[in-house]
A and B are shown apart, each in its own frame.
Chain A
Amino acid sequence: MAEQQQGKGMNPARRQFLTDTLRTACGVGLVALGLGLYSRNTRALPAEAIRPPGALAEEGFLGACIRCGLCVRDCPYDTLKLAKPGAPVALGTPYFTARDIPCEMCPEIPCVKACPTGALDPKLEKIEDSRMGLAVVIDQESCIAFQGLRCEVCFNVCPIRNKAITLEFRHNERTMKHAIFIPIVHSNACTGCGKCEKSCILEEAAIKVLPMHLAKGMLGRHYRLGWEEKREAGGALVTPDLPHQYNLPDGMRYEHGGRGLIQSPAPSGEVPSEPALEAIPRRGGGL
Chain B
Amino acid sequence: MAAVGKNLNPGAEARAKKGWLRASQWLILRRLSQLTVLALFLVGPVAEWWIAKADQAVIVGERTAATRQDKGGTARAHQDSASAHKAVSTAAEDWWIVKGNMASSLTLGVLPLTDPYVLAQQIAAGHWPLTTALVGAGIVLVFYLLVGGRVYCSWVCPINMVTDAADWLRSKLGIKGGARFSRATRYWLLGATFLVAVVTGTIAWELVNPVTMVFRGLIFGMGLAWGVVGMIFLLDLFVSKRAWCGHLCPMGAFYSLLGAVSLLRVSAANRAKCDDCMDCFAVCPEQQVIKPALKGATKGLGPVILSGNCTNCGRCIDVCARDVFQFDIRSTNPPTPRVTQKREVLP
* B partners with A: yes
Do B105 and A28 touch (CB < 8 A)?
A: no
> How far, in whole Å, are A119 and B206 apart by their CA atoms in the complex?
15
- Residue interface mask B223-236, A partner, CB < 8 A = 1: 11101100000000
When distances are taken between beta carbons in the complex, the residues of chain A under 8 Å from B225 are 84-85
CB–CB A70/B105 < 8 A: yes
A28/B206 in contact, CB under 8 A: no
Please measure, in the bound complex, the distance between the C-alpha atom of A247 and the C-alpha atom of B96, giving whole angstroms.
89
- Is the beta-carbon distance between A40 and B200 smaller than 8 angstroms? yes
CB distance from A177 to the nearest CB of B (A): 24
Q: Is A25's CB within 8 Å of the partner chain B?
A: yes
For the complex, what is the distance from the CA of A104 to the CA of B199, rounded to whole Å? 37
Known A20-B182, A38-B204, A60-B127: A28·B188 in contact at CB below 8 Å: yes
> Contacting A38 at CB < 8 Å: which of B189, B208, B227?
B208
Give the chain B neighbours of A23 by CB distance below 8 A: 182
Q: Is B126 an interface residue (CB 8 A)?
A: yes
Q: A73-B44, A84-B224 are in contact. Are A66 and B104 (CB under 8 A)?
A: yes
Would you call B82 and A29 a contact (CB within 8 A)? no
B101 contacts A by Cβ under 8 Å? yes
When the two chains form the complex, which single residue of B86, B114, B128, B182 contacts A66, counting CB atoms closer than 8 Å?
B114
**What number of residue pairs across chains A and B have CB atoms under 8 A from each other?**
189
Q: How far is the CB of A153 from chain B (nearest CB, A)?
A: 7
Residues from chain B with Cβ under 8 Å of A63 in the complex:
122, 125-127, 197, 201-203
Residues of chain A with a CB closer than 8 A to B104's CB: 66, 68, 70, 116-117
CB of A86 within 8 Å of the partner chain? yes
Tally chain A residues at the interface, Cβ within 8 Å.
55
Indicate if the CB atoms of A66 and B112 lie closer than 8 Å: no
**Docked CA distance A87–B126 (Å):** 26
Residues of chain A within 8 A of B189, CB atoms compared: 28, 31
| Contact of B324 with A by CB under 8 A | no
Q: Mark A23-37, 1 if CB is under 8 A from B, else 0.
A: 111011101100110
Q: Could you tell me the distance between the alpha carbons of A140 and B93 in the complex, rounded to whole angstroms? A: 44
Q: Report yes or no: A36 in contact with B224, Cβ–Cβ below 8 A.
A: no
Which of B127, B195, B196, B213 makes the CB contact (< 8 A) with A91?
B213
Give the residues in chain A near B207, CB-CB below 8 Å: 35, 38-39, 42, 90-91
CA distance A20 to B185 in the complex (A): 10
Contact B125 A66, beta carbon cutoff 8 Å: no
Q: In the complex the two chains form, what is the Cα distance from A73 to B143 in whole Å?
A: 25
Q: Bound state CA distance, A153 and B72, in angstroms?
A: 10
Which among A21, A70, A81, A157 is the interface contact of B74 at CB below 8 angstroms? A157
Q: Are B224 and A68 in contact (CB under 8 A)?
A: no
Assembled-state Cα–Cα distance A114/B44 (Å):
16
The CA of A279 and the CA of B105, in the complex, are separated in Å by 80
A74 within 8 A of B: yes
B7 touches A (CB below 8 Å): no
For chain B, residues 179 to 203, give those with C-beta under 8 angstroms from any C-beta of chain A: 181-182, 184-185, 188-189, 191-193, 195-197, 199-203
Q: Are A36 and B199 in contact (CB under 8 A)?
A: yes
Residues in A neighbouring B185, C-beta threshold 8 A = 24, 27-28
Asked if A116 and B195 make an inter-chain contact with CB atoms under 8 angstroms apart, the answer reads no
Find the A residue at minimum CB distance from B133: A116
A82 at the interface (CB under 8 A from B): yes
> Smallest CB–CB gap between B230 and chain A, Å?
12
Using known A-B contacts A28-B188, A90-B207, A116-B114, determine if residue A35 contacts B213 with beta carbons closer than 8 Å.
Answer: no
> In chain B between 245 and 304, which residues have their CB closer than 8 angstroms to a CB of chain A?
none
Name A153's closest neighbour in chain B (CB-CB): B74
Question: CA separation between A73 and B220, bound complex, in Å?
Answer: 10
Asked whether B206 lies within 8 Å of A69 as measured between CB atoms, the reply is: no
Taken residue by residue from 47 to 63, chain A's Cβ proximity to chain B (1 for < 8 Å, 0 otherwise) reads as 00000000000011011
Point out which of B105, B136, B196, B228 has the most chain A C-beta atoms below 10 A from its C-beta: B196
The answer to whether A85 and B224 touch across the interface, beta carbons within 8 angstroms, is: yes
Which residues of B lie under 8 Å from residue A148 when comparing CB positions? Answer: none
Fill in one digit per residue for B75-116: 1 if any A CB lies within 8 Å of its CB, else 0. 100100010011001100000100111011110000010110
Task: Tell me, yes or no, whether B221 is within 8 Å of chain A by CB.
Answer: yes
Q: Which A residues are CB-close (under 8 A) to B217?
A: 84-85
Do A86 and B127 touch across chains, with their CB atoms under 8 A apart?
A: no
Tell me, yes or no, whether B222 is within 8 Å of chain A by CB: yes
Q: Are A116 and B136 also in contact (CB < 8 A) when A31-B189, A69-B216, A85-B213 are?
A: yes
Report 23 cross-chain contacts, Cβ distance below 8 Å, ordered by A residue: A24-B181, A25-B188, A27-B185, A36-B196, A36-B204, A38-B208, A63-B201, A63-B203, A64-B122, A68-B103, A70-B104, A70-B106, A81-B221, A84-B223, A85-B224, A85-B228, A91-B208, A104-B82, A116-B129, A116-B132, A117-B129, A118-B129, A199-B74
**6 closest A-B pairs (Cβ-Cβ)?**
A84-B223, A68-B104, A63-B125, A39-B204, A32-B192, A62-B202
